[in-house]
Amino acid sequence: QVQLVESGGGMVQAGGSLRLSCVASGSINRINLMGWYRQAPGKERKLVALITWDGDTRYLDSVKGRFTISRDNAKNAVYLQMNTLNPDDTAAYYCNLVQLNLQYWGQGTQVTVSS
């Protein structure tokens, strides 16, 4: 089993920054894909950023240049540095891990950006 625990969400004014963290525990395979998704009320969950075990990254177009995903394989952790936040970034953010054709989710952390 794999557990993902997120932290770092909160409320911030437009233009501000937040850093999300996610730590995975349990049976973690070295080769995996970790990422962050977000879901706003009434909308579908969508990919924000992902990072492969060896550091390749991909971003949602609207966050490119503002968000940075990184990971620490020794800690089984993934991070999302979010800068220049705007109200459209308001959502619940979920950590995701994919390994051995299985997918795991964290419980989510709320990010609220006020104008």
Q: In the predicted model, is pLDDT for residue 81 greater than 90?
A: yes
Tokens of 88: 């459209």
pLDDT tens figures, 30-55: 889 999 999 999 999 999 999 999 99
Q: In the predicted model, is pLDDT for residue 12 greater than 90?
A: yes
How many percent of the chain have pLDDT more than 90? 97
At residue 30, the pLDDT reads 87
Tokens of 24: 């995975």
**What is the rounded average pLDDT of the residues 84-96?**
98
At residue 71, the pLDDT reads 97
| DSSP 8-state class, residue 74 | G
C-alpha dist (Å) from residue 88 to 19, 20, 109: 17, 17, 16
Q: In the predicted model, is pLDDT for residue 62 greater than 90?
A: yes
| DSSP 8-state class, residue 10 | E
